[in-house]
Amino acid sequence: MKQAVIKYSLLTLAFFLYSLSSGYSIGDQTLVGARDVSLGNTGVVLFSPFSVFHNQAVISKFQKISVAIDYRQPYLIEGFAEKSLAAVIPTPLSNFAISVQQKGIQGYNESRFGLTMAKQLGKRFSAGLQFNYFLIGFPEEGRSKGTFVMEFGVLFQTSNNVTLGLHIFNPAHTSIESLNLKSNLPASATTGIALKPSANILFVSAISYCVDNPLNVRMGIEYQFSESFFLRGGVSGKPFRHSAGVGYKSKFFATDFAFVHHETLGYTPSFSLVLNF
């Protein structure tokens, strides 16, 4: 019994430190998608089903149904995991997506449910809007509380080799309150650029601003060394993180593995699988 109490206390402390390292507990800066993570969390300009977490405008580019899952174990802490699911459904009117994310430890958990609509608004410009429901399970009350949050994104392709993206999360600065805790969901803006100087190389960069937090600069590079295999690396800060990963892509599926290193808390591995129908 004593060992169980000690283990639970350590996990709770780790989760608290993790929240502080991100600047808040849940929201826009969640690292989702191994490819996005390995490229310094520059998903605001990356094509992926995980764009439901980074820039909803990207969803307008899909022409086939796509389903993606992601799993992370922050700082290799036993019992501490993040799981995400995204599904994109193209239609003649607009493209739609649903997403689910869950993370936490025994006695405390956070969940996010999202519904996305995105549309191409011309040859080069697209936009997307998402409504989320955030839910937190508070241990002191033995029940959960939630709130609705809106986010949106735009994407502009100046050419086949240059893409610009902008994402706004929670402009109303919504929060969730319990008896002893107030979780402020971030109000943030992220903008980025993707450059593809050749068929095998991709450079990405992004800047994120969050209320009550410093500017976060992110950069990444992807090298395609064969028809289906990729090498990736990235950096971001503050706090300073460096990341790396590998990926395999075929016509019907893609799988990616990445790790990111936090300057204080250590390594976090992640794995993603994308299925295209």
Please state, in angstroms and rounded to a whole number, the distance separating the CA atoms of residues 115 and 195: 29
Please state, in angstroms and rounded to a whole number, the distance separating the CA atoms of residues 149 and 157: 28
226-268: pLDDT as tens digits: 999 999 999 998 788 999 999 999 989 999 999 999 888 899 9
Question: Is residue 14's pLDDT more than 60?
Answer: no
Domain count, the chain: 1
CATH for 233: 2.40.160.60
Please state, in angstroms and rounded to a whole number, the distance separating the CA atoms of residues 265 and 251: 37
Instruction: Tell me how many degrees the CA angle 188-270-208 measures, rounded to the nearest 5.
Output: 15
Q: In Å, what is the CA distance from 56 to each residue of 73, 113, 191, 214, 259?
A: 25, 14, 13, 24, 24
Range of the domain at 215: 2-276
Please state, in angstroms and rounded to a whole number, the distance separating the CA atoms of residues 55 and 62: 13
Contact predicate 27/186, CB 8 Å: yes
Question: Is residue 57's pLDDT more than 50?
Answer: yes
- Do you know the residue count of the chain? 277
Q: What is the pTM of this model?
A: 0.87
Lowest mean pLDDT among 17-26, 73-82, 119-128, 193-202: 17-26
Q: Given pLDDT bands bounded at 50, 70 and 90, which one contains residue 180? A: low
What's the burial of 255, exposed, middle or buried (CB within 10 Å: 0-12/13-18/19+)? middle
**Neighbouring residues of 165: CB distance < 8 A, sequence distance ≥ 6:** 44, 45, 55, 57, 58, 153, 154, 155, 156, 190, 191, 192, 193, 194, 206
Omega cis (within 30) before 238: yes
